[in-house]
């Protein structure tokens, strides 16, 4: 990403807001299937939500008439690293998205007038230690979904 020296370590505040031609071409094709893909994600998201203890889920806080897009499916665990190891032992991939809160990034520690580095953001800090993204994509076989949910409920 722009402004990063290594993944999730931002040295400079930055954005990336343009598509390369190949990305635009791929997106043009993918957009034709967007409604079907969204429906699959929503169905799978509801299945995951119904199968995992609600205490371990990030609550959906959505205004009425808005539906969740389920780009990712994220759980919370006090023992996130152990859960990740147990899933890996079962050959289930999981990811830690955003392992470091924004205010700990070097890019934001440089902004003197904001003094991000000295503020305390307990919700962000806890989330960065607890969140784990589970395998979640259209076309994920039902058997794989069942195994993921079984292992998460066993080890979370």
pLDDT digits 0-9 by tens, 117-133: 556 788 888 999 999 99
Is residue 65, in this structure, part of any structural domain at all?
yes
Report the DSSP beta bridge partners of residue 4. Answer: 10
66 lies in which domain range? 34-155
Structure tokens of 19? Answer: 């598509």
43/66 Cα distance (integer angstroms): 15
As a whole number, the mean pLDDT across the chain is 86
| In contact, 94 and 132? CB cutoff 8 Å | yes
Given this model, what pLDDT does residue 155 score?
87
> Residue 121: which of 102, 107, 106 has the closest Cα?
102
Region 13-36: what's the mean pLDDT?
Answer: 85
Q: CB count, 10 Å around CB of 22?
A: 8
| Nearest residue to 76 via CA among 24, 19, 133 | 133
Q: What is the pLDDT of residues 127-151, one digit of tens each?
A: 999 999 999 999 999 999 999 999 9
Residue 51: per-residue pLDDT: 92
Task: Classify residue 22: in a domain, yes or no.
Answer: no
User: Count of domains in the chain?
Assistant: 1
99 has a pLDDT exceeding 70: yes
- Tell me, what's the pLDDT at 118? 59
pLDDT at 115: 60
Domain presence at residue 27: no
pTM attached to this predicted model: 0.77
Q: Are the CB atoms for 45 and 68 separated by under 8 Å?
A: yes
Report if residue 111 sits inside a domain. Answer: yes
Place 103 in a pLDDT band, splitting at 50, 70 and 90.
Answer: confident
Instruction: Confirm whether 8 is domain-assigned.
Output: no
Find the CATH number of the domain harbouring 110.
3.90.1150.10
pLDDT for 19 equals 79
């Amino acid at each position: 990403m722009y402004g990063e020296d290594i993944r999730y370590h931002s040295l400079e505040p930055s954005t990336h807001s343009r598509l390369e031609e190949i990305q635009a071409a791929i997106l043009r094709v993918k957009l034709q299937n967007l409604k079907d893909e969204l429906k699959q994600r929503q169905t799978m998201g509801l299945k995951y939500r119904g199968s995992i203890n609600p205490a371990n889920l990030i609550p959906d806080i959505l205004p009425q008439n808005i539906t969740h897009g389920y780009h990712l499916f994220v759980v919370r665990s006090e023992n996130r690293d152990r859960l990740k190891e147990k899933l890996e032992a079962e050959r289930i991939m999981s990811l830690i998205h955003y392992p470091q809160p924004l205010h700990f990034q070097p890019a934001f520690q440089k902004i003197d007038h904001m003094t991000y580095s000295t503020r305390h953001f307990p919700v962000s800090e806890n989330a960065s230690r607890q969140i784990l993204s589970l395998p979640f994509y259209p076309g994920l076989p039902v058997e794989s979904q069942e195994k993921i949910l079984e292992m998460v409920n066993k080890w979370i």
